[in-house]
């Protein structure tokens, strides 16, 4: 389908509003899962590492399954996927209220809710990109704040609901709120197709019409011959077994003389169809081979390889505070009277601020976005090292705000990827990096939880987290300093590839 030119306004602003609320409703609970994490620890009595898998899966499975999510949105459209995903998120949250053990939560909350969030994220980004071109950056920035605002509000909301209705009632109410995603999804009206005639089919597209569609006459003749042969042979074989073989051969010779030209035509077309399938399979194999060759070319770029390691280590070490900070405060024996606001809420609101400010800084020509991103990584590592020394609510709140602000570097990550590999390889490279980001999200909190189960304190766990983030930042800095300009100039001069990496949104 050929879409008309993006209107950059009109109904597109409705799309921005409903996409904002969609991300608010679907990501609010998974990002604020640290409040539920404490209740699950008390309810099931499992180790911190095993319990942390629930929140890790909910936040990482969507990134891990991003290729599948893109295929679904490309095949069925943003509106059906958003409505279906709304049922997944709401159903997964409600099912989690009846969880008899932690393993049930792995499926209901971790996989079902996580996959639903991944589908909704892809759907909202896709439909927004279709409606906006010149103002696409502004539109995407507005809808991306929905998840951060959701983290801020849901952290306090779930805490209050647990006190009033218990853990099960909280999950049921939050699941019911998620049903509003269905109303938001129904408003995601697809962009009207262009009135211009579709492009003419290429020779390759016309081949199936030539080889796979046969005349009804030829098809009928072959079916009749097959039926006559079968019926006549079966009857003779039943009545006279010794003469079965002889009669069958004689009958086949007689029938083969009928419409010999039609049978020859059919056989000829079968051969042509087979040859076409072989050529098509060979062509597809060449495309896949080219795809993997281009993937290997990406990793020959030193900055991209360092960026791949940095994003993996950053998510392993930088994501656990948003899940475990509430338990850190409880382990520090902080009084409830000093607890003015959930620490996860502070992380959420400062993440929103960080996305906006870092995004604005990235637009200045005198700011090198790669060095800006490296700076956020190094500062995050230092903040993680400082968590074990925080013994009061005020210091933990300050560190939560700093970590939340630095986590807003997600808004400049596409800029960094573009400067590293070039705009023509952005989709391919970004998909690879997001997959490993999801892997880091899934592994980070369980690793920190296992450190606690092993040492019975969080100090070693956050030293490990800080070391991971600092290591990723230093590796990226070392790779960028000597060859940053060379890598960017080389990537911008690469000739266009024979294989095109199309964005799932068709934007």
294-348 pLDDT per residue, tens: 677 777 778 888 888 888 899 888 877 777 787 788 777 777 666 777 788 888 8
Q: Do residues 89 and 26 touch, judged by C-beta distance below 8 A?
A: yes
Sequence-separated (6 or more) residues with CB below 8 Å from residue 161 = 169, 170, 173, 174
Mean pLDDT within 69-98: 89
The CATH number for 1-193, chosen from 3.40.50.1100, 1.20.1250.20, 3.30.70.60, 3.10.150.10, is 1.20.1250.20
Give me the pLDDT at residue 269, please: 62
Alpha carbons 384 and 389: distance in angstroms, whole number:
10
Q: Do residues 346 and 397 touch, judged by C-beta distance below 8 A?
A: yes
Give me the pLDDT at residue 427, please: 60
Alpha carbons 144 and 132: distance in angstroms, whole number:
15
According to DSSP, residue 110 is labeled I
Alpha carbons 77 and 123: distance in angstroms, whole number:
8
Phi/psi at 193 (nearest 5 deg)? Answer: -70, 155
Alpha carbons 304 and 334: distance in angstroms, whole number:
43
Diameter of the chain measured on Cα atoms: 101
| Ranges in the chain annotated CATH 1.20.1250.20 | 1-193, 301-485
- Which region among 35-39, 218-222, 440-444 has the lowest average model confidence (pLDDT)? 218-222
Kindly write down the DSSP assignment for every residue of 61-79, as one continuous string: HHHHTHHHHHHHHHHH-HH
Alpha carbons 124 and 142: distance in angstroms, whole number:
12
Whether the pLDDT of residue 467 is over 50: the answer is: yes
Q: At what angle do helices 114-131 and 11-31 cross, to 10 degrees?
A: 160
- Which region among 131-140, 215-224, 251-260 has the lowest average model confidence (pLDDT)? 215-224
Alpha carbons 268 and 262: distance in angstroms, whole number:
10
Q: Do residues 418 and 49 touch, judged by C-beta distance below 8 A?
A: no
C-alpha dist (Å) from residue 447 to 51, 377, 451: 11, 19, 6
Mean pLDDT within 391-406: 89
Q: Do residues 165 and 70 touch, judged by C-beta distance below 8 A?
A: no
Half-sphere exposure in the Cβ direction for 275 (13 Å, CA): 9
Whether the pLDDT of residue 87 is over 80: the answer is: yes
CB-based contacts of 311-314 (< 8 A; 24+ apart in sequence): 311/413, 311/433, 311/436, 311/437, 311/440, 311/472, 312/436, 312/437, 312/439, 312/440, 312/472, 313/440, 313/468, 313/469, 313/471, 313/472, 314/377, 314/380, 314/440, 314/468, 314/469, 314/472, 314/473
Q: Quote the percentage of the chain above a pLDDT of 90.
A: 21
Q: How confident is the model at residue 420 (pLDDT cuts 50, 70, 90)?
A: confident
| Nearest Cα to Cα of residue 18 among 180, 126, 135 | 180
Per-residue H/E/C for 265-304: HHHHHHHHHHHHHHHHHHHHHHHHHHHHHHHHHHHCCHHH
Could you tell me the fold of the domain covering 301-485?
Growth Hormone; Chain: A; (1.20.1250)
Q: What dihedral do alpha carbons 332, 33, 59, 442 form, nearest 10°?
A: 40
Mean pLDDT score of the chain, rounded to an integer?
Answer: 76
Give me the pLDDT at residue 336, please: 67
Alpha carbons 374 and 332: distance in angstroms, whole number:
31
Whether the pLDDT of residue 357 is over 70: the answer is: yes
Q: Do residues 26 and 116 touch, judged by C-beta distance below 8 A?
A: yes
Q: What is the pTM of this model?
A: 0.64
Alpha carbons 290 and 499: distance in angstroms, whole number:
7
């Amino acid at each position: 389908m050929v879409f008309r030119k993006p209107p950059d306004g009109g109904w597109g602003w409705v799309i921005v509003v409903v996409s904002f609320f969609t991300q608010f409703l679907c990501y609010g609970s998974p990002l604020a899962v640290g409040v539920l994490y404490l209740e699950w620890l008390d309810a099931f009595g499992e180790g911190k590492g095993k319990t942390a898998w629930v929140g890790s899966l909910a936040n990482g499975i969507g990134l891990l399954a991003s290729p599948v999510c893109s295929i679904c949105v490309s095949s069925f459209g943003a509106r059906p996927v958003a409505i279906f995903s709304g049922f997944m998120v709401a159903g997964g949250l409600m099912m989690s209220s009846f969880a008899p053990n932690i393993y049930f939560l792995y499926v209901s909350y971790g996989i079902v809710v996580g996959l639903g969030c991944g589908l909704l994220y892809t759907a909202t980004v896709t439909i927004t990109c279709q409606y906006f071109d010149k103002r696409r950056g502004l539109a995407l920035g507005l809808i991306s704040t929905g998840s951060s605002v959701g983290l801020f509000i849901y952290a306090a909301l779930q805490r209050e609901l647990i006190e009033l209705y218990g853990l099960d009632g909280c999950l049921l109410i939050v699941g019911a709120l998620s049903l509003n995603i269905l109303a938001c999804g129904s408003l995601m009206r697809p962009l009207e197709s262009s009135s211009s005639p579709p492009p003419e089919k290429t020779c390759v597209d016309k081949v199936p019409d030539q080889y796979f569609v046969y005349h009804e006459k030829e098809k009928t003749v072959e079916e009749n011959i097959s039926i006559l042969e079968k019926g006549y042979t079966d009857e003779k074989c039943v009545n006279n077994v010794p003469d079965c073989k002889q009669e069958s051969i004689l009958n086949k010779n007689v029938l083969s003389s009928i419409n010999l030209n039609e049978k020859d035509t059919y056989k000829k077309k079968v051969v042509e169809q087979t040859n076409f399938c072989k050529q098509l399979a060979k062509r597809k194999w060449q495309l896949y081979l080219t795809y993997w060759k281009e993937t290997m070319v990406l990793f020959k770029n030193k900055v991209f390889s360092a960026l791949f390691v940095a994003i993996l280590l950053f998510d392993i070490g930088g994501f656990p505070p948003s899940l475990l900070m509430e338990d850190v405060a409880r382990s520090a024996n902080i009084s409830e009277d000093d607890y003015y606001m959930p620490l996860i809420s502070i992380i959420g609101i400062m993440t929103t601020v960080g996305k906006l400010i870092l995004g604005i800084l990235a637009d200045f020509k005198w700011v090198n976005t790669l060095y800006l991103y490296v700076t956020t990584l190094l500062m995050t590592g230092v903040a993680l090292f400082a968590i074990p020394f925080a013994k009061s609510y005020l210091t933990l709140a300050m560190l939560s705000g700093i970590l939340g602000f630095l986590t807003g570097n997600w808004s400049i990550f596409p800029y960094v990827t573009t400067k590293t590999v070039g705009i023509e390889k952005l989709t391919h490279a970004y998909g690879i990096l997001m997959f490993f980001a999801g892997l880091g999200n899934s592994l980070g909190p369980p690793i920190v939880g296992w450190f606690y189960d092993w040492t019975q304190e969080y100090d070693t766990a956050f030293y490990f987290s800080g070391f991971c983030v600092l290591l990723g930042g230093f590796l990226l800095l070392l790779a960028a300093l000597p060859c940053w300009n060379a890598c960017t100039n080389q990537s911008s001069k690469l000739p266009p590839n024979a294989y095109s990496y199309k964005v799932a949104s068709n934007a």
